[in-house]
Amino acid sequence: MSHPINILERYWNHTSFRPLQEDIINAVLDNEDTFVLLPTGGGKSICFQIPALIKEGICIVVSPLVALMKDQVKNLKDKGIKAMAITSGISYNELDTLLDNCIYGNYKFLYLSPERLQQDIVQHRIHQMNVNLIAVDEAHCISQWGNDFRPAYKNITVLRELHPSVNVIALTATAKPKVIEETIAELDFIAPKIFKASFSRPNIAYNVIYSEDKLYDLERLLKEHRGASIIYVRSRKLTIEIHEQLEKLGFSSTFFHGGIPTKDKQKRLDQWMNDQKEIMVATTAFGMGIDKPNVKTVFHINLPESLESYYQEAGRAGRNDENAFAILLTNKSDEQRLKNQFIKTLPSIDFIKLVYRKLCNYFQISYGEGELSSHQFNFSTFCKTYDLKTTQTFNTLQILDRNSIIKLAQQFNYKTTLQFIISNASLFAYLERHKHVELIVKSILRTYGGIFEHSLAINLSLIATKTSTTEKQIIAVLQQLDKDGVVEFNFSNTDSEIVLLQPREDDKTINRIVTIVEQQHELKRLQVNAVLSYIENDSVCKQLQLLHYFGEDSVETCGTCSVCLSNSEPTNSADLKTIQNHILSILTHQNYNSRQLVEQLPYKDTDIFEVLKLLLEHQIIETTPSNTYKLK
């Protein structure tokens, strides 16, 4: 038997383990059921990969994240280790061959989703495999109180029935005590070995900064904290806009979101990982499984949906143990925006039943039929056909997906995409000769930033609405532009595929998941409230607030967060009164925005923002449509 440290040196080129890793590996090698809570960046995958390489046979890894599965399989293959992932979109014959390879081909790792464990062929072949370990990644998904609960995770117990003598390792980065308890019970652990690293990241300064002009403050803070950075935003459009603004300001940046073609994603990731680009502007989809040790600062321009996700995203800073910063920029409008996005869009049970019935009608499924039937699906057309609100409908489809009523596969490669491939000057010369397409072209240019540089997914329905035309007319114009060499236009009348996993029973189908859905809605409300409490609490150390949320007792303040720094340099009420009088005096003559006030006033910007916030709350001043302040 090889020693764990030898495996670590051979495949990972490290000469020592991170905290807890070696103890976890030894527990797994001793055939103990093991629960592992290592905060993001703690090196969870090594904890099951090394013992699996030492033991004879194959390790079954259950994970809900296709991107993470593919990333880990690629990393293992790059090391010369035989691994495969069984994802969606695989034919029965291909699945048959892949599973045979796992039995006879000396593979060491098989990654699959919990939904795959429902298939008879998968269970039958796993029973024939020489399984040496069962690894459950993102294990919190098995708990009804876990972040992103997936009922399909309860299928994992079938692996224990197929291989009752094989031990299980469950791994997660964020779990509260109640979730840990439920996860251990659900996985049928007996006398488990539990390893919990502290959630404390003493090298990260957690800063919540009130900002009326986020781009201005972002520019200022990026100059102050030079080095590799991630800027998290809430929309794809915003990734492009902020990237372009940063480039104009002289920063080296790129952007990343789920709709970018795979080849472009890899190119941008490589540029950032190799320090060719200093800043990555990304949606929250970015970062899973990516280990870049020298990230200096992680920014959040929008409020996160939960402290679990915030902790994971912020934790991508400072993995080299050097001082790093997690900076969250917020202002008065953020609270309502967060509630609008994550609470007001929670679909009611009646709405979920309505969407499910309409979905079955859309695919012409008879009552009692449809199980495992597959359908090409255009989300926009579906919503328009039944006059459904898009955000609530999409959330409903995700709920149906998480609860194994349907399988929703978003095929981004099938989306309608567009890129202008001639220069700006040439395009406007073309429009002079083809006036009938001018309105459509200009609407597209104003809707999609970066469409000259990149092939972007476009919404034909949105463009048709803006130009008061039909989708058919838009398509005809874009096809003509493509023919004339003005654009590259790839049209698809489908953006997703839906597999119905259960026979149609209308309300009965949904009634089975009502309790789970209501519990998940309540959890989402609690999570949003926890985020709002975190940003509003200016009296308790930010690190302590996070530790307390995850059930960890500590009284030692960090000394580096925005609260600790504010407490170490107290501003007395007389000083605030002085600032207030100065601001009011300036605003009697002219309206100013926050940036102009900071430049004019001889005080700390944090104190100025605090006074502005108080003046707004007491309705002494108000904001204008042009984002300046004026006296009421």
* Fold entry, domain 340-413+495-524: Arc Repressor Mutant, subunit A (1.10.10)
Question: In angstroms, rounded to a whole number, what is the distance separating the alpha carbons of residues 420 and 411?
Answer: 23
At residue 72, what are phi and psi to the nearest 5 degrees?
A: -70, -40
Across 400-420, average pLDDT: 77
Across 402-406, average pLDDT: 88
Would you state the CATH architecture of domain 573-631? Orthogonal Bundle (1.10)
Task: Name the superfamily (CATH) of residues 204-331+537-568.
Answer: P-loop containing nucleotide triphosphate hydrolases (3.40.50.300)
pLDDT exceeds cutoff 80 at 134: yes
The size of the chain, in residues, is 632
Is the Cβ–Cβ distance between 221 and 327 less than 8 Å? yes
Q: Chain-wide mean pLDDT for the chain?
A: 89
Asked if the domains 4-196 and 204-331+537-568 are classified in one and the same CATH topology, the answer is: yes
Across 562-567, average pLDDT: 87
Question: In angstroms, rounded to a whole number, what is the distance separating the alpha carbons of residues 236 and 232?
Answer: 11
Question: In angstroms, rounded to a whole number, what is the distance separating the alpha carbons of residues 14 and 10?
Answer: 8
Question: In angstroms, rounded to a whole number, what is the distance separating the alpha carbons of residues 474 and 463?
Answer: 8
Which letter does DSSP use for residue 445 in this model? H
User: Does residue 440 or residue 65 have the better pLDDT?
Assistant: 440
Q: What angle do CA 20, 64, 189 make, to 5 degrees?
A: 50
Residues 6 or more apart whose CB falls under 8 angstroms from that of 220 comprise none
Across 153-172, average pLDDT: 92
pLDDT number for residue 118: 82
Question: In angstroms, rounded to a whole number, what is the distance separating the alpha carbons of residues 466 and 418?
Answer: 17
pLDDT number for residue 412: 42
pLDDT exceeds cutoff 70 at 316: yes
pTM of the model: 0.75
Q: What angle do CA 43, 48, 50 make, to 5 degrees?
A: 90
Please provide the DSSP assignment of 135-157 as one string: EETTGGGGSTTSTT--GGGGGGH
Is the Cβ–Cβ distance between 509 and 356 less than 8 Å? yes
Task: Give the tens place of pLDDT for each residue, 228-280.
Answer: 999 999 888 899 999 999 999 999 999 998 777 777 888 898 999 999 999 99
pLDDT number for residue 408: 82
Percent with pLDDT over 90 in the chain: 55
Please provide the DSSP assignment of 530-598 as one string: HHHHHHH--SS-HHHHHHHHTT-------SSSHHHHHHHS---HHHHHHHHHHHHHHHTT--B-HHHHH
If one counts every other C-beta atom within 10 angstroms of the C-beta of residue 379, the result is: 18
CATH 3.40.50.1000 fits 4-196, yes or no: no
Across 460-474, average pLDDT: 86
pLDDT number for residue 410: 61
pLDDT number for residue 487: 92
User: Does residue 118 or residue 26 have the better pLDDT?
Assistant: 26
pLDDT number for residue 32: 95
3-state secondary structure of 184: helix
Nearest Cα neighbor of 55 from 87, 83, 31 is 31
Across 128-147, average pLDDT: 90
Nearest Cα neighbor of 14 from 38, 41, 46, 39 is 46
At residue 499, what are phi and psi to the nearest 5 degrees?
A: -110, 125
pLDDT exceeds cutoff 70 at 573: no
Joined tokens for residue 251: 């920063």
Across 197-221, average pLDDT: 91
Instruction: Give the start-to-end residue ranges of the domains of the chain.
Output: 4-196, 204-331+537-568, 340-413+495-524, 416-490, 573-631
Which pLDDT band, with edges at 50, 70 and 90, does 391 fall under?
A: confident
The set of long-range contacts for 258-263, using a CB threshold of 8 Å and a minimum separation of 24, is 258/283, 258/285, 258/412, 259/412, 259/415, 259/456, 259/457, 260/454, 261/413, 261/455
pLDDT exceeds cutoff 50 at 204: yes
User: Does residue 558 or residue 627 have the better pLDDT?
Assistant: 558
**R_g (Cα) of the chain, nearest Å:** 27
How far from 218 is each of 64, 215, 232, CA to CA, in Å? 34, 5, 12
pLDDT number for residue 375: 87
At residue 245, what are phi and psi to the nearest 5 degrees?
A: -65, -40
3-state secondary structure of 291: coil
pLDDT exceeds cutoff 70 at 411: no
Question: In angstroms, rounded to a whole number, what is the distance separating the alpha carbons of residues 307 and 285?
Answer: 16
pLDDT number for residue 242: 94
